[in-house]
A and B are shown apart, each in its own frame.
Chain A
């Protein structure tokens, strides 16, 4: 159903239907932006990457092969674009400002903001290969198989990277700040 709806919208886009394009943008803007943010660690860079992702998607929409899942294709472009930006930014500026949390709100939001910041900080300590699988698994909710399709790597590699990444993140998320773990009621 999910796939059929995407397929129908893509077909309409291929015929020049802007309403269909708008629906696809609405559906995938948030997940693409979030994946980009988690990889890049910066709101502005994530917004730039998201714009570029959709430009690329619709630039090639006429050539899109319906036998592939649309969401896997979009995610693959999103991940590649985000990783490209990481490489570009690495030479342009430090990632110091990337640790800033996008959460600014009242005191009751503190736990959420702290969690967001803590998780993002831990993610940014991982190499891009590890960060990408964690983002796809935990932030985008993809299965091993979907991650394998998106990144075009064997499922075995997905599992291995996930395990290693979470082992590395244990130190940051569970041991650096015992109070944080307690605050989450664990």
Chain B
């Protein structure tokens, strides 16, 4: 069970170490336990090692579980897109918009907009006006605003500087409006997902002054914008109650489903 090394110190042999580890990890068999029980009283070194490793294992086992942040589950679920039955993924660049329209979260959003609950709607930004039918399916106001809404105190900003994504995001506040202004340059179709659930905010408007091509979808608690190339737009959120700063305003940038970057913008508490 123990042998003396060159310095005259006792060392525990491999078989005994094996038994001690199996015991500490709760993977020891009845026969092995009997063998260990016979060894323990015969050597102080073996006893001490078993005792100390057992204490370490107990402390580790007793370490309490950490509660995940409350916002986390919702934030995860809002970003997940499931495959649509029978839909084969395509990555052909020219068809990316079509693929985007076929994604399940958007499908869900459209179903909800048809009358289930909470979905605000989907519309394409551009020169075409929003029809009355579109407006009727939306909850809240979607109306073009002038550039004045972009004024206001700068609360936070994030500079984006990666090989696949460049730009600037600024969060401003004026009265009850919070504006997130995006100046982006991407070499590939990129989705921007803004998670504002649980912050006492609701979607109010999106204004775009420059974009090669981008689309917007609003679900309960999150806004999805998809575009490519140079894009410049402002998302406006409206305060509905006391703003809670339990979690920062999360902005995720994705290419396909690959997360390129996650930005966090802080709204000071009221």
B85 touching A15, Cβ below 8 Å? yes
Which residues B71-98 have CB closer than 8 A to chain A? 72-73, 75-77, 79-85, 89
Q: Could you tell me which residues of chain B, from 54 to 71, have a CB within 8 Å of some CB in chain A?
A: 55-69
Contact A25 B76 (CB under 8 A): yes
B52 at the interface (CB under 8 A from A): yes
Which single residue of chain A is at the shortest CB-CB distance from B59? A173
What chain A residues lie within 8 Å of B34 (beta carbons)?
none
- Bound together, the chains give a CA A52 to CA B68 distance in angstroms of 14
Q: How far is the CA of A102 from the CA of B60 in the complex (A)?
A: 16
Cβ of B52: which chain A residues have Cβ within 8 Å of it?
170, 174
Q: Which one of B21, B63, B77 lies within 8 Å of A163 (CB-CB)?
A: B21
User: In the bound complex, how far is the Cα of B82 from the Cα of A14, in angstroms?
Assistant: 7
Are A21 and B80 closer than 8 Å at their CB atoms?
yes
A97 at the interface (CB under 8 A from B): no
Instruction: Judge whether A51 and B262 touch: CB under 8 Å.
Output: yes
Please, how many angstroms separate the alpha-carbon atoms of A165 and B87 in the complex? 48
Chain A interface residue count, Cβ-Cβ cutoff 8 angstroms: 55
**Are B73 and A29 within 8 A (Cβ)?**
yes
Task: Give the one of A13, A17, A138, A174 with max B CB within 10 A.
Answer: A138
Main secondary structure of the interface of A (DSSP, over half): helix
Cβ contact within 8 Å between B82 and A13: yes
8 A Cβ contacts from A36-70 to B: 37, 43, 46-48, 50-52, 54-56, 58-59, 61-62
CB <8 Å contact, B257 and A55? yes
Interface flag for B27 (CB, 8 Å): yes
B82 touches A138 (CB 8 A): no
What does the 1/0 interface line of A126-163 toward B look like (CB < 8 Å)?
Answer: 00000000100111000110000000000000010011
A5 CB-CB contact with B under 8 Å: no
Q: Does B25 contact A (CB under 8 A)?
A: yes
Given A29-B73, A51-B76, the answer on whether A138 and B61 have CB atoms closer than 8 Å is yes
Minimum CB–CB distance from A6 to chain B (whole Å) comes to 16
Contact B62 A166 (CB under 8 A): no
Chain A residues with CB under 8 Å of B82's CB are: 13, 16-18, 21, 58, 61
CA A186 to CA B21, docked complex, whole Å? 20
Which residues from chain A contact B25 at a C-beta distance below 8 Å? Answer: 137, 144, 162
B259 within 8 A of A: yes
| Chain A interface (Cβ < 8 Å from any Cβ of B) | 13-18, 21-22, 25-26, 29-30, 33-34, 37, 43, 46-48, 50-52, 54-56, 58-59, 61-62, 102-103, 112, 115-116, 118-120, 134, 137-139, 143-144, 159, 162-163, 166-167, 169-170, 173-174, 181, 184, 186
Chain B residues packing against A (C-beta within 8 Å): 17-18, 21, 24-25, 27, 52-53, 55-69, 72-73, 75-77, 79-85, 89, 104, 107-108, 252, 254, 256-259, 262
Add 20 more A-B contacts to A25-B77, A56-B257, A119-B63 (CB < 8 A). Answer: A15-B85, A16-B82, A18-B104, A18-B108, A30-B67, A37-B66, A50-B72, A54-B79, A55-B257, A55-B259, A59-B257, A102-B67, A115-B59, A115-B62, A116-B63, A137-B60, A138-B60, A144-B27, A173-B55, A184-B59
26 residue pairs A–B, Cβ–Cβ below 8 Å: A16-B82, A16-B83, A16-B84, A18-B104, A29-B76, A30-B68, A33-B72, A46-B68, A50-B76, A54-B79, A55-B76, A55-B79, A58-B257, A61-B82, A116-B64, A137-B25, A138-B57, A163-B17, A166-B56, A170-B56, A173-B56, A174-B52, A181-B55, A184-B62, A186-B55, A186-B58
